[in-house]
């Protein structure tokens, strides 16, 4: 597992949407009149962002998801802290279905990353990839990763099925963990045998535990001035996947993920991270 495999690709399956960023130098007070510094329209959605990052890090990446007209996420960025406040709608957004996934030729892929949403369909996709893996030699197996972020989508199915489990801070806290260290320990116990569990924790950096049960921590890499933390987690996930495709040791994988995510926090958007 996790060996570089020729021209096979990384597939990210999940959401793409339009993010509309309103950039302000302070957070607005309710019922006041405020002028924004600038407005940016950019691609958003966890998996679309992660795919864009993977593609910049010398891997072939593909995004798989549904496109909709009229879905936009309004986001307020406060440049004094880099904080992001998200207001979104998913009204009428078509979700990815298992029958659409079945149209893919899985032979093209060495890694499939799933976003933890629409789990009734996504769990069938995970099962299909596992089925595919059963009859494949070690080097032809597809690595499966899953991101548990929003508890409302109940992504717990990933915790015992995927090879690389991404636990977001929000999800870890929902399960009662108060640090990346504790979350990685806790979820590694529930994870599939041989799995790797990764957990990012904002400015506190991130932790990982691989199949050998050894714990690693990396501090965050400060970009100097934090201007935009939107998508830091998506960037981190993409960088971790790209680094694991290169078979780097896990402590270096983790540092790499934090370094690329830190760089992202010092700029708007996801360009120039490679």
Kindly list the residues in this chain that would bind ligand ADP in the complex (CB under 6 A): 168-169, 200-203, 205-206, 220-222, 226, 229, 232-233, 236, 258, 261-262, 265
Number of H helices, E strands in the chain: 7, 12
- Secondary structure of residue 101 in the 3-state scheme: helix
Minimum CB separation of residue 173 from ligand ADP in Å reads 11
Closer residue to ligand ADP in complex, CB, 101/201: 201
Nearer to ligand ADP, 163 or 228 (CB): 228
- Which residue lies nearer to ligand ADP by CB, 159 or 237? 237
DSSP string computed for 38-81: EEEEEEE-HHHHHHHHHHHTTS-EEEE----SS-EEEEEEETTT
Rounded to whole angstroms, what are the CA distances from 154 to 43, 115, 148, 157, 159? 25, 11, 8, 8, 11
Question: Are the C-beta atoms of 202 and 173 separated by less than 8 Å?
Answer: no
Q: Which is nearer to ligand ADP, 19 or 129 (CB)?
A: 19
CB of 108 to ligand ADP, least distance (A): 28
Beta carbons within 8 Å of 6's beta carbon, 6+ residues apart:
none
Residue 138 Cβ vs ligand ADP, minimum distance, rounded to whole Å: 30
Beta bridge partners of 167: 148, 199
Task: Report the C-alpha gap between 53 and 235 in whole angstroms.
Answer: 6
Q: How far is the CB of 136 from ligand ADP (least distance, A)?
A: 32
Residue number of the CB atom closest to ligand ADP: 233
Euclidean distance between CA atoms 240 and 256, whole angstroms: 7
Shortest Cβ distance from residue 266 to ligand ADP (Å)? 8
Minimum Å gap between C-beta 103 and ligand ADP is 30
The residue among 146 and 262 lying less far from ligand ADP, judged by its C-beta, is: 262
Nearer to ligand ADP, 114 or 201 (CB): 201
Find how far residue 267's CA is from the centre of its chain.
Answer: 18
């Amino acid at each position: 597992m996790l060996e570089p495999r020729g021209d096979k690709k990384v597939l990210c399956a999940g959401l793409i949407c339009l993010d509309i960023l309103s950039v302000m130098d302070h957070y607005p007070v309710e019922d006041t009149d405020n002028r924004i510094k600038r407005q940016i329209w950019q691609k958003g959605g966890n998996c679309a962002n992660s795919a864009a990052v993977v593609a910049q890090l010398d891997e072939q990446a593909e995004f798989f998801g549904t496109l909709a007209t009229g879905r936009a996420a309004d986001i307020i960025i406060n440049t004094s802290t880099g904080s992001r406040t998200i207001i979104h709608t998913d009204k009428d957004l078509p979700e990815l279905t298992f029958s659409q996934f079945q149209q893919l030729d899985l032979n093209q892929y060495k890694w499939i990353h799933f976003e933890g949403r629409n789990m009734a369909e996504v769990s069938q996709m995970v099962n299909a990839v596992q089925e595919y893996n059963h009859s494949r030699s070690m080097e032809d197996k597809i690595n499966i990763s899953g991101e548990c972020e929003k508890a409302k989508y109940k992504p717990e199915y990933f915790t015992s099925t995927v090879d690389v489990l991404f636990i977001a801070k929000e999800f870890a806290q929902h399960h009662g963990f108060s640090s990346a260290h504790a979350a990685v320990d806790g979820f590694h116990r529930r994870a599939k045998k041989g799995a790797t569990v990764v957990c990012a924790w904002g400015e506190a950096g991130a932790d990982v535990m691989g199949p050998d049960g050894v714990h690693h921590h990396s501090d965050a890499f400060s970009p100097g001035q934090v201007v935009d933390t939107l998508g830091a987690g998506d960037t981190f996930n993409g960088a971790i996947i790209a680094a694991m495709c290169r078979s780097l040791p896990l402590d270096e994988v983790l540092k790499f993920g934090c370094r690329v995510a830190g760089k992202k926090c010092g700029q708007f958007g996801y360009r120039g991270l490679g």
